[in-house]
Each structure stands twice: as C-alpha cells, then as structure tokens.
Amino acid sequence: MKKFKGRVVAGGEIIGEAIVSRQGVNTLATFQKSALKNAKEVYSSDQNNPDLYKKLLTGKILCLPKTIGSTTGGLVIQTICSMGINPKAMLFSETIDSLAASGIILAKNWENSDIIAIDQLGDKFLKYVESGDKITVQTDGTVIVEKTNETK
C-alpha cells in the first residue's frame, strides 16, 4: 500500500478500482464511440492507447498523466458526466490540462456531477498504480493505492 498527495481540483471521497493509462488520454477518441451509441457504459475506443483500448471506464478510477487531443474534450467530459457513464474519478500524475479542467468544471457547475479530480500526484504515482488496484481518494487529495490479489 502506498499513499500519494495531490491537489484537489474537484474534491470528494471515493473507493474504487483503478484503470491506468501511462500515456495521455485522448478524450474524444476514448469516449466518442460509446457516447455516440448512447451506451450505458464506456469502453475506450482509442486505437492509439493500448492501455485503455476496449476496456471499461465507467465507474472506474481513471489514472493518467493528462488528457490530450481535440478541444471538444471538455464538452465530451461534461456530456459523459451528464449521461452518468463517466469514470468516478480522474487522477492526474501531472498538472491537469486545460481541456480536462474545463470538462470537470463544466460537469460540476452545469450538471451537478460528483466526479472527483485530483492532479499533481507525481510520476511515482503513475509508475506504482496498476489497473485493478484498489484506490481510496480522500477529501484532502490523498490517494491510497492498494494492490489486490490480482495485481500483487
């Protein structure tokens, strides 16, 4: 088990399962297919991101360096939050990028979403965390990563 401390962009408490991308997450490419199909769950459709491609993101805790790609990114995050198919939390190892920040703020201010966002968790966080790990997020930006039987 390891503890990391980040900056709270959108606070809250949650326990959940990690899904990890070691590379920047292209928001439009990742979420568009499921969103366009009006799906009940998001499976990543980004061909260029093998960490996430075809994996379930809804309800998970998405760990990533930052988001990249099209400037529709913020609107896409707002939309998946309004549809209730978003990851429960987004944990950024780097400083959050402008598109993800827009999406989180739009989701909070206009959709009353409870999505959580913590950034500046550091490279060590992203090196340590693996998909399937148990994650606990605390209100002050503390993130606890625990290995499970599957990820040990």
DSSP-assigned letter for residue 141: S
Q: Which residues bind other proteins (CB under 8 A)?
A: 9, 24, 26, 28-29, 32, 35-38, 47-48, 65-75, 78-79, 82-83, 96-99, 101-103, 105-106, 108-111
* Beta carbons of 62 and 90 less than 8 angstroms apart: yes
Closest distance between other proteins and the C-beta of residue 132, in Å? 25
* Beta carbons of 93 and 145 less than 8 angstroms apart: no
Q: Whose Cβ is closer to other proteins: residue 15's or residue 110's?
A: 110
Q: Whose Cβ is closer to other proteins: residue 37's or residue 127's?
A: 37
66/27 Cα distance (integer angstroms): 10
108/88 Cα distance (integer angstroms): 13
Q: Whose Cβ is closer to other proteins: residue 18's or residue 113's?
A: 113
Closest distance between other proteins and the C-beta of residue 18, in Å? 21
Closest distance between other proteins and the C-beta of residue 128, in Å? 21
Give the sign of the dihedral formed by CA 86, CA 100, CA 91, CA 19. Answer: positive
Q: The tokens of 137 are what? A: 């997020």
Closest distance between other proteins and the C-beta of residue 82, in Å? 5
Instruction: For residue 58, give the 3-state DSSP assignment.
Output: coil
User: What number of other Cβ atoms are within 10 A of residue 23's Cβ?
Assistant: 15
Q: Whose Cβ is closer to other proteins: residue 64's or residue 143's?
A: 64
Closest distance between other proteins and the C-beta of residue 106, in Å? 6
Q: Whose Cβ is closer to other proteins: residue 35's or residue 144's?
A: 35
